[in-house]
Amino acid sequence: MNKQELIDAVASTTGEAIDAILEDVTAAVTRGETVQLIGFGSFSTGARAERTGRNPSTGETITIPAAKTVKFTAGKGFKDAVDAA
């Protein structure tokens, strides 16, 4: 195995780990749990109430149904890093 082959092997394994993390975060938030990554932020569910809107092409009033949403709240470390940049 040369250096490039080693880099490719590590990159493919890292990609699998990231996929697994994203799947676990998605599953937890889908169950209604909050996922907190200290220093980065937290993912949770929210609720958006039914509301009235307008069709932009016709101007007609429409009802937008209620929906569940995903919320992300940035952590202090993340906010501080962005602010310092």
Its pTM stands at: 0.70
Q: What is the pLDDT along the chain (85 residues), one digit of tens a residue?
A: 788 887 887 887 787 788 888 899 999 999 999 999 999 999 999 999 999 999 999 999 999 999 999 999 999 999 999 999 8
Query: Do residues 15 and 31 touch, judged by C-beta distance below 8 A?
Result: no
Query: Do residues 36 and 27 touch, judged by C-beta distance below 8 A?
Result: no
Q: What pLDDT shows up at residue 4? A: 84
Task: State whether the Cα torsion 50-52-56-57 is positive or negative.
Answer: positive
Mention the CATH class of domain 35-85. few secondary structures
Q: Is 25 helix (H, G, I), strand (E, B) or coil?
A: helix
Residue 54 pairs in a beta bridge with 61
